[in-house]
A and B are shown apart, each in its own frame.
Chain A
Amino acid sequence: MARAAVLGRLTWQVGTVTEVRDETPTARTLVLDVPDWTGHQAGQHVDVRLTAPDGYSAQRSYSIASPPGGTKLELTVQRLEDGEVSPYLAETLAPGDPLELRGPIGGWFVWTPADPGPVLLVAGGSGIVPLMAMIRARAGSGNRAPFRLVYSVRSADAALYAAELADRARTDAGLELSYVYTRSAPPGWPGPAGRINAGILTAGRPAPPGTAVFICGPTGFVEAAANLLIDAGQDAQTIKTERFGPSGGQP
């Protein structure tokens, strides 16, 4: 049962970018120092607000990539084609710049190490971000519940955190990783590129009892994945979804 702490009303804070890390040619991680950050849970997000000199402002939500407990906050931003905010965050913003944000937000799409049950994480594109926070949170805690990540991307070079996920699949006990390549599969991949299907999601076996499912990504992907799981017998009540919108985010 989710425990709600009584918090103050949410207000805007200013963080400072201390570091940026390229994840792919079109995505990067922003490392932020946010004084008075009250902490967060894996799966939560922040609202980011940009203001132009004439007062025009634009606001978007970004999932927190860093696990709870660090001194810095990390956001991973995918640059969207017709983006208004994402190109600024993914290209213009530089170390030393301020960034206005508020959070943490969202108690629904959250996993904490206190949850003992097995978990199925299903990510489409940049939907991996909040799920990565969960994987990182698990690694930093004593929780060893089985975690299975199914990560759907267009191609291998579009995958975020690829190296880290490969490491963790080797060293985080109980973490399983499966990729789905929808446009082009890497050399040596046993099979053609293709969309997510029930076989990959279920790995040919029913999910262990008590499995919690988190699905995150563009709307179409989330709907497809959720429907596949429900058709395969997963109880809809055990599935939590976070749709990013039709393009994978508001541009």
Chain B
Amino acid sequence: MNEHLDGNVLAGALRELFTVDITTATGQCVACGTTGALGQARVYPDAPGMVARCRSCDEIVLRYVRAPDRAWLDLRGITCLQVQLPE
């Protein structure tokens, strides 16, 4: 499918790796500096892997591939992720 979906689509895939919901984590796009939650990204879910792009500049913020027994995650498009944790 060529049209993108919303960042929420990342939630299920990344919940296999992380113990927090990553779509509410915030970060800054390396390319354009826009900050926001990963839930706001534009997601191409079956590229054949999953590609998330910045809602402002469309550059890649995250890439993810899931094999039956492994997964790969590339977060180079985000400067860093900030995750809320319970105190």
A residues in contact (CB < 8 Å) with B: 1-10, 45, 47, 61, 102-103, 105-109, 219, 240-243, 245-246
Contacts and interface: CB of A to CB of B under 8 A. Distances in A.
A248 B4 CA distance: 13
B37 A9 contact: no
Closest 4 CB pairs of A and B: A108-B39, A107-B21, A10-B15, A2-B24
Given A107-B11, A108-B11, A245-B1, A10 B24 contact: no
A1 B5 CA distance: 23
Given A2-B84, A4-B85, A245-B5, A107 B24 contact: yes
B86 A109 contact: no
A6 B87 CA distance: 11
A4 B3 contact: no
B86 to A, nearest CB: 6
Contacts of B16: 9-10
Nearest to B2: A246
B20 A7 contact: yes
B3 A219 contact: yes
Contacts of B84: 1-4
Given A8-B19, A108-B23, 13 more contacts: A6-B86, A9-B19, A61-B9, A106-B12, A106-B23, A107-B24, A107-B39, A108-B21, A108-B38, A108-B39, A109-B8, A243-B5, A246-B3
A109 B85 CA distance: 19
Nearest to B5: A243
Contacts of A5: 20, 86
B75 interface: no
A103 B21 CA distance: 11
B17 interface: yes
B7 interface: yes
B83 A4 contact: yes
Given A106-B23, A107-B23, A47 B12 contact: yes
Nearest to A1: B84
Pick from A102, A108, A240, A242 the residue with the most CB of B within 10 Å: A108
Pick from B3, B8, B20, B37 the residue with the most CB of A within 10 Å: B8
A3 B86 contact: yes
Nearest to B16: A10
Interface in B39-64: 39-40
